[in-house]
Structure 1
Amino acid sequence: MSEPSAARLSPGMTIGLLMIMLALASIASLGIGRYDIAFGRVVEILLSPLWSPSIPVTATEANVVFTVRLPRILLTLLAGSGLALCGAAMQGLFRNPLVGPQVMGVSSGAAFGGVLAILFDLTRYALLGSSFLFGLSALVLCYALNGVVSRRNILALVLAGVIVSGFFAALVSLVQYLADTEDKLPAMVFWLLGSFATANWDKLLLVVVPILLASIALLGMRWRINILSLGDEDARALGIKVEPLRWTILILVSCIVAAQVAVSGVVGWVGLVVPHMARMLVGPDHRVMMPAALIIGALYLLVIDTVARVATSSEIPLGILTALIGTPVFALVLRQTQRGSRGL
């Protein structure tokens, strides 16, 4: 029984409308903050390198838009779209709407790599590399554990992910225990809570290539994910090499999640909640649902990040807000899923 679609528009029109909403929200977010800038003025500032507006752009306006807010918003859009795409791919891969990118322990592994880099004062490039390394290590451990327990059993794979997540969470706690309480520990705690407060052009350039390439590859596989969602036997009957494809998807998901964790800490629930929004709008077909999830994820995280930086005088960590919003939504989704299963 498929989820009912809340949209009366065609999927193409819905995606087009979402893109317009994302563009408008992005421009509006550039003007929101302690130094407010009107929507029309933001447009003039963005276009100022191409043509001179009637009122010249001041140095303060240019600095606020181009140096402070633009890299942060682009990084937020990149992270939100990547996490949502990962969630949509994982839910199709596992044929389970209640899983997200964290199910394989990748986030916990990447988080351990990050705090380890902070502990030893490594560079941001080393932090990214460490997050990638331990994120992928978590994936390998998860698959190795699944092979020992019950190879090719999806439920056992999910349980293996829970075990690996717990293991790396314990390692993160151990590193925090060993860290200097005056310097390193506060930095670790703030980083683990998730935030784009330290976003800049260097961090954006650091992760834009891996996230974009992995996202494009996932989008290119969306029709294969459609087939995988039918079950392994049906996929093999249709000529799909299930195990290599599953590994490829999991590695791409790991790359996106590790890159996001490396620059902004752990941001949970986005990959779990957003695919359900996309599924309600355009239906369960991954060929349109995954692009819709990508756009909704970018819009969702942009709105939350904007609230995080303007709601109070001191910025609210992003991970707190995503959890506060994500947990009740997850409960509603679980309730609907249980109702649907009873109705079959």
Structure 2
Amino acid sequence: MDTKVNEVNDTDLILTRRVDFRKKFTFLIIIFTMVFTASFAVGRYPLTIKQLLDFVIFRFFDTSREIPEAVETVIMNLRLPRILAAVLVGSSLAASGAAYQGIFKNPLASSDVLGASAASAFGASIAIYFSFSNYGVQLSAFVLGIVSVLLVFIISQRIQTDSAIALVLTGMLVSTLFSSAISLIKYIADPFDKLPAITFWLMGSLSGVSIYSVKFACIPMLISLTVLYLLRWQINVLSLGDEEAKALGVNTQRLRLIIIICSTVLTATSICISGVIGWIGLVIPNLARLLVGSNYTHLLPATVVMGGTFLLGVDCVSRGLFPVEVPLGILTAFIGAPFFLILLCKGGRE
């Protein structure tokens, strides 16, 4: 009798949590939709709601409708690529940070824990130093980010200690080496030409993003996000520890490698089109965890939506609040650091 009562109570609890998550997720989608819509109106060339509605009607319903050429140019060539890039980059960095926090069982892990950010930044710095094209800079950043994490994984296999600890320690070492290499490139770069370009790129910005960059980035990002979503329940198991995961039939080494590859692709692809943007992979997953809990079935979708909304909002502030556009990396640090302190205090009390 007691067993049946407990089963009923467990079922009711699961259903209650699902309903609660759906309400919260619906709220996140509404916030995202509002910020997404408002992003088209913010910028050096402000647009009204009427102009946006006229453009939507012209684009999808009535092609005979006349709209100013400047409005179409601003929306299609400037705003839309930048908005899509902000959503993709924010979602990818947040999902990558959440995945790393799960497999390393550490809420302080972030998307750059294995050195992908530093390696991608070094790849872009080298490309800028040797005057590569914009696509050459993006490709160099992407390749170096992938290669560095594969190098971290190979080296960590030779360290006789816990695999997760070995990965983190090796990642710190590789990240330090690439950061030092970036400093060397900046030291020898032309201070009137190459150095400002490298410095500005390292601060993070979406000002130069094009629709072709978005097309280049969306395929690996969407594939990696889909794989992480399909593995969400296994991340739950892996977060319990390797021994518990192995007891449940999970191949921990193979699973960890797949998650690391997907997270690295997300991080490297994000950096190659936006530069280095910090704090998203650290703050957003922790905020989502406070909102929907630690179950990755709920945590991962919430993190993706919140990451895209956050960077989209920061980008609106960057191009709409100040006379001169402020790099995104600076704003995310100003917003993320105090916000994370609040999360730490709140988490400590709970």
- State the match for 2:271 in structure 1: 261
Note closer, same or farther for the CA distance 1:280–1:64 as it changes in structure 2 (3 Å cut): same
Q: Aligned equivalents of 2:274 and 2:286: distance in 1?
A: 24
Would you say 1:171 and 2:188 are equivalent positions? no
Question: Normalising to structure 2: TM-score of the pair?
Answer: 0.90
AA aligned opposite 1:178: I
8 Å CA contact 1:195–1:318 kept in 2: the answer is yes
1:125-140 alignment, distance < 5 Å:
125-140=135-150
Identical columns (%): 37
Contact 1:27 1:39 in 2 (8 A): no
Find the partner of 1:236 among 246, 249, 263: 246
The answer on whether the counterparts of 1:98 and 1:334 sit within 8 Å (CA) in structure 2 is no
CA contact (8 A) 1:27 1:43 kept: no
Decide whether the 8 Å contact of 1:31 with 1:39 is kept in 2. yes
1:146 matched residue in structure 2: 156
Deviates more, 1:323-332 or 1:68-77: 323-332
- Asked if 1:19 is matched to 2:29, the reply is yes
Letter in 2 for 1:272: L
Deviations 1:146-170 (A, max 9, x none): 3344443433432322222111100
Work out whether residues 186 and 195 of structure 2, in 8 Å CA contact, stay in contact via their aligned partners in 1: yes
Unaligned runs of 5+ in 1: 1-6
Q: Tell me if the contact between 1:44 and 1:53 (Cα under 8 Å) persists in the aligned partners.
A: no
Q: Residue 99 of structure 1 corresponds to which residue in structure 2?
A: 109
Q: Which amino acid is the alignment partner of residue 298 of structure 1? A: G
Is 1:292 equivalent to 2:280 in the alignment?
A: no
Per-residue deviation at 1:336?
A: 4.3
Counterpart code for 1:265: G
* Conservation of the 8 A alpha-carbon contact between 1:72 and 1:199: yes
TM-score relative to the length of structure 1: 0.91
Bigger mean CA deviation after superposition, 257-266 or 12-21: 12-21
Tell whether the 8 Å contact from 1:125 to 1:206 is kept in structure 2 after alignment: no
- Residue 66 (structure 1) shift: 1.3
Aligned-pair distance for 1:145? Answer: 4.1
CA distance in 1, matches of 2:61, 2:349: 57
* Deviations 1:16-66, CA, capped at 9 Å, x for gaps: 221122122111110112222222431331332222389731101111111
Deviation, structure 1 residue 335 = 3.7
Q: Give the gaps of 5 or more residues in structure 2.
A: 1-16
Corresponding residue number in structure 1 for 2:190? 180
What do residues 193-217 of structure 1 show as CA deviations (whole Å, max 9, x unaligned)?
Answer: 0000111112111211111111111
1:66-81 aligned within 5 A: 66-81=76-91
1:317 aligns with 2:327: yes
Q: Distance in 2 between matches of 1:221 and 1:132?
A: 24
Q: Is the counterpart of residue 31 in structure 1 residue 41 in structure 2?
A: yes
Where 2:192 maps in the other structure, the secondary structure is coil
Q: CA deviation at 1:339?
A: 4.9
Larger Rg: 2
Secondary structure at the counterpart of residue 31 of structure 1 = coil
Q: Aligned-residue CA RMSD in angstroms? A: 2.0
Corresponding residue for 1:307? 317
Looking at structure 1, the residues matched to 160 and 346 of structure 2 have their Cα atoms a distance apart, in angstroms, of 30
Q: Which residue of 2 aligns with 1:328?
A: 338
